Structure 1
Amino acid sequence: STDGDLVIGGLFPVHEKGVGSEDCGKINEHRGIQRLEAMLFALDEINKDRSILPGVRLGAHILDTCSKDTYALEQSLDFVRASLTRVDGSEHICPDGSYAVHDDVPTAITGVIGGSYSDVSIQVANLLRLFQIPQISYASTSAKLSDKSRYDYFARTVPPDFYQAKAMAEILRFFNWTYVSTVASEGDYGETGIEAFEQEARMRNICIATSEKVGRSMNKKTYDGVVRALLQKPNARVVVLFTRSEDARELLTAAQRANVSFLWVASDGWGALESVVAGSEAVAEGAITIELAAYPIKEFAAYFRNLHPYNNSRNPWFREFWEQKFRCSFHTQDCSRYSLKTGKFEPESKVTFVVNAVYAMAHSLHNMHQALCPNTTKLCDAMKPVNGKRFYKDFMLNVNFDAPFRPADTESIVRFDRYGDGIGRYNIFNYHHMDGRYRYQKVGYWAEGLILNTSLIPWAETSIPVSQCSDPCKKNEIKSMQPGDICCWICIPCQPYEYLLDEFTCVDCGLGYWPNETLNGCYELPQEYIRWKDVWAIGPVTISCLGFISTLFVFGVFLKNNDTPIVKASGRELCYILLTGVLMCYSMTFIFIAKPSTEVCTLRRLGLGTSFAVCYSALLTKTNRIARIFSGVKEGVQRPRFISPTSQVVICMALISCQLIIVIIWLLVETPGTGKETEPDKRYIVTLKCNNRDSNMLISLTYNVLLIILCTVYAFKTRKCPENFNEAKFIGFTMYTTCIIWLAFLPIFYVTSSDYRVQTTTMCISVSLSGTVVLGCLFTPKLHIILFQPQKNVASHRVGTTRFSVAAAGSSLFHGSASQSVPTVCNGREVVDSTTSSL
């Protein structure tokens, strides 16, 4: 204790927890001695400062909590003794008439600085509030202490743990560590801290693999059991610690015994203390720890290094500290030669907050003194004693001042929020091996937001470690979550035609669309159709061009020789119709190769069946005429009707009209247009096609099949007609070949319906071949005579039909003069025709 006009209490963990039934253990150098001396240092500086409470001296009454809440509560009774015994002795008279004799009563405590651990502060706060004694803690961070309904005389210069928990959760989320284990110390600090962390973790979809707790009376075996429990979750490589420094040290030692390592993320209980990692540096390597943002106080460092047992008698524990630190004993008189000036001084991380707490108490008293005692520098009656309730609510919670001893380039304000809490600011450290030694490296900062410099973190695996329950899914996979667990999943691949709506849902792009490279949307597939430069088009187009030119050439030759016997004998009118049909067949290739559109699709339907109908209607008319002439006509039968050129053209046009009617009905029933078509197993290919069904095309071609069959039948019946009637034989060749082409074409057309290129090419070649067969078999012989055997293109090589007679084979009965007739046998009958009109 130190004397003063106003006395401020202090609670510090001068000793560690005792073992077994012992209350106190060994001296706690950093958290005990340094913090205690920081309070004394701050009081010295305040008492020297004429701007703070001039004329009023502050004293101290400091107690040891031995790092134990129950022991601290017992010690804190000293703070309330003055309140309990604050009575006027003159009012108490003994039975013999003498006045009562009182023991020395300590001066009333104005306020208390402390405690250190949260569970200690909670116990003490429950006691002090009964006597309206304000309390400022320098290290207690439990969120419970923010509850003003229960701790209405408590304040602190440090922020509550939920800020720290938030910072730790943000670190995990930053590195995508979504599956972690936790270890908490028993008591309010660890339990409420880890509870706050778990709440923040859930908000960020971070899962807890296992939660362990370390107790106050644990031994090596129980710590080893905690390590074994952590190993049961191998995917949770990150372990979050919300523990006291002693518990963190024991846990690292247990991990070293088990020869295992984890990636530790630790609270300020570990902070940047060398004592935690001493002897366990290898298993601690890579740890990320959090420490309250503070600055070193050079003045305190100089003050502390000058301390010596012989000049620091006011600290009753300093001699014990000295003996423990230098491993000496004052009983042997060999301790005086040691000095704190030698060796490296490691400042305790909370020293700044101890100094700030003392200054906050002093500034609050100064403000109260100015308000209540404006006319004196001494204490007035209004502050004898200090009204704790008014002092706390009106002055302490409203205090605001620049932090003392701060570096010139540092802005730091000491103030409390409405809950009596300090401002949340944290430094983030990484413990790693560098330059031949292990050290803490500051790698980030947190103040309502995370700032990390990952380039300062030398990961042992050269890349950020993974701590996830399940491996990340591939680009085209979604997560199938396990029931009740948001961090464990099974990866399920999406279909090739699906995109990822989110990480849990595949969505079909729809026909004609395909996922983009990032699989976050779809794009419209390009429509495929045969283009003029494709190999599939070059072949059919070449054939059609050659056929088209050849047909035009034949057309020209026939027109030039229109009045020659060979052209007349061929039936000029039907030949020109037939050549027109052949031209239409060759033209169909260009229509089928053209890009599908409503107009093109209309022409396809109209042109395909009609081109065939023109060809086969003309051929049917020809073969029917010949067959009727040479059918079973009796002797003397009249000349058949409708064999004149005009009649033949009319019959041919009537046959063609039937096909046109069929096509028009088809166009009306099924409106022509285009459509996109995809195969179920090849949805990435979108074919632009006409919207007609192949079955409907078959119905349209059925009429042409009927024409082909009839032509073939008539050609077969007239196959034996000789001489000028050999045209029937060539028609027969044409129809036989056509039948073969169609028999091959129709199956190929329907079998290849899944490949539009093969189907279209097959269609074009088949149609062109049909025209080529007609052109080659019927017109090439005539063209050969016209061009190379003109001597045969005379009347003597022609058979007329104006005068007509038929007789049975071997008969000598003829109608008309036979002197200029040539008897001929056709299908078993003798035929004589001496007219000059053409067939």
Structure 2
Amino acid sequence: MAAPIDMMRRLARALVLLLAVIVAGATAAQFTLLVSLPLTGEMKLSATGTREVLEASVDDVNAWAGANGGHKFSLDIRDSVGGMAPAVKNVFDAGAGNSTVGVIGDFGSAQTEAMALAANSFKLWMCSGAATSPDLSNKDDYPFFYRTIPPDSYQGPFLARFIHLMEWKSVALLFASDSYGTGIMTTFTQAADELKIQVATSQSFTPGDTRGYSVAIDAIKSSGTRIILYIGLPDDFIAIAREARKAGIIADRDWVWVGAEGLSSLLAVVNDPSKKFTDEDRDSMNGVMYAFPQERGAQYKAFFDAYKNKFSGRQDTTPYSIFFRDCFFSMARGIVKMISSTNVGTVSGRSYASGVSVKDFLVPFEGTSGPLSYDKNGDREADYTIVNLFQGKATPVFSLPAKEKNTLTTLAPATYYSGRTDKPTDRPSYMIAYVTYLSAGGIVVMGLVGIVIMVILATVGYLVVQRAHPAVKSMSLPFLIQIALGLVLILGDVFLWMDIPTSLTCNLQVWVFIVGFELFLTAVAAKTWRTWKIFDNKSLAKLHNLTDTRLFLATMAIVLVQAVVLVLWTLLAPMKPVLVATTSSISYKCESVNKVALGTLFQTISIVYNAIILLVVSFLAYKTRKVYSTFRESKFIAYTAENIFLCGVVVTPFLYLATDNFALAAWWIRVFTVIYAVSFAYACLVGRIALVPYMASKAETSGGIKMSFEKGSSNDGTSSAEQMPGKPQTMAGKYPVKVANKLFATWHTHRLTLFALEGFLGMTRLTNNTEQGTIFKLRSIQFDPNPASYPLCLELRADSTAYLVQFNREEDKNTWIKALSVHCLVYSRSSGNKSTGGPGASTAAPGTGGTRQLQGGPSFAISAAHYGATSTIGLNSAIGGGGGGGAVPAAGGSKALQMMDPAQKHR
């Protein structure tokens, strides 16, 4: 009984096994994949190596497929000749049959795009290990396509990252005008802009057309950068290298050529015996670097050993071949996975349901080139390697990880054309025609400008502390601060002229300089305008309109007009940096790009507007040059205006003339002209004023005002020309004299002679010069009998100059005071602004004081009013907005006092 049962069990097992075999045979299938490669085109060497790798991979793929369903794959390898028509014909021929389910190919992006469009019609899955065009990422147009090599949309940014991490700030682009060249060029340019890499020039060429090579090379040579990014294929590069060698931009260690992955087969091409390239061509390849995706993963060594066994004598695999091997594997894996979700018949007949996608082929796995992962567009994500060519060898020298954006790993030293390994700069120092912040010249300029700015600010601080001092009050502290602020802005603008400019710094250069110049110039204009109005006005009834507040508002109105021009300039024709490169130098300038004419118009308007203000200041300073002021302000304003005009004559031509060949010299001229002009203006208008309280305090510390210790003499007598009892007609004496309203003036012995009847006062310095001295009209002289801080002295004023005369004895001084009071207007700043006359009182002679007062005409009375402080408006108060100094007419001048009443009323 047991025997029949065991027999039945063995029979059942055999039937089950037979049924399993029958089912397995029914589900296993043989699939064909079309392989289209340019076996006889320009890429034939890489294509031939790829064919060998694919043939060596068939057993590995079938071993995996057999273990996962018992399937087998075969390859139908065809030549595309590197042309679009043959490549598309290969797809049509494969699509017409029933056994082909997928396509592997091609090398060129243009051919691959055409093939992928044809594959859509036949529902053939397609993979490329070399086509990198970003257009192929569009799954609406290419739903059946994917690739195992990163696209140009990845390669462009990788190249930009490499340039950036090598610390090169500029690059020249030379790219093929086909889809491969333009694709990488576009993505690189976008990434370079984000990384602040300047594309100095972008030159295209038509592949195979040598006529345009020299034009592109000349443009690159003049671009100013020594880093060249080439995007094209090896044959074109070798021909271009010949032109570059003639131009001297290859046989020089300063020039660096970096290529995209299209140059990966450069060594194979240049060493191809059939192409008959020269030793000079091969020498030109030294130092070239190119980027290539990481193609050797953990499985590479095992495969390469098997590859060498099948194809003896091979020293390496050709570029792209491993990516195509991964295409073969991923295609097989995708087909098998699709069978599991459908069936063999659906896949073999390519009768896929609507909505089928390439996602079954985008499953991550460990390939021979490394881990395969894809983005949503079916594009491979991978690290990149920079390969360096030198003496016929290709050496990986840098690695750029895909995930770590700021990492550049050095694998080996890069060797440049000269054989040296030290990294060249993108712009050699001898070519840089602009001053950088870290250069020796930049440090010197910044230090010098910083010192001048600190001196100006320190002076302003000191003036604020000494604001109660008569000298500071008389010069109007608010306008002194405005002048200083303008000078600081003008100097600060120099910092914006340095290094490589940006759009922001270009526009700030214009704003800061012009606004600073306007603040300075309008403050000076306000001061000269007030002086001119006071001395020009026959009636002083409107002097209340010349307050600091009103004048400040007027200056701001003038600045506002300029601000409107600047706003329009910035909005309508903004300034941008422009590289100015010659064969020997590199510099930058700021101009209104694409709107040069409009920018020039705004520039001219600003120059003319400020020139008009400068002319007004010069005119007013000239008109008031003889007006008395304690520190001869009108004269120094005139000096400053003349100096600005001369500096403008030096600098303005550089705004309109081309300075390409002497940009650095022009920059230094501008900088030192500005520093000189600002320093001169500061010394004339601000620094001088600060010296007055400083010297006064120093004198007090040292024991008082320095006086002359020379002995004087006097001799008063009577002229025979006219006898007037009690009134001296001629007086003379030798006394120390110095200019009172001039800093650092010294005492010199003069002979002082009074010619009473003739109406003159002579002042003669005792020298051997032919010209001995000066004669003054007595009616034009005013004097202070008791000048502050100068005992035994009187002060004479003639036009805009004041003289201190020192006497030996009080008696001599009183004698001269009595004599002068008969003929001259008396003023005083030291006696509480009260009229004085005669010895101790300086009283005018009877019957003469009022008459002599009126002989001077209204101008004397007005002048007296101008110099008043308590009872009248003083000159310094009118000009500077504050204190110091009073003047009233000599005793008896009732009409003069009446003429001062309006000024007193409106003070």
TM-score where L is the length of structure 1: 0.49
TM-score where L is the length of structure 2: 0.46
Look at both structures and tell me which one has the larger radius of gyration over its CA atoms: 1
Greater relative contact order, per chain length (Cα 8 Å cut-off, separation 6+): 1
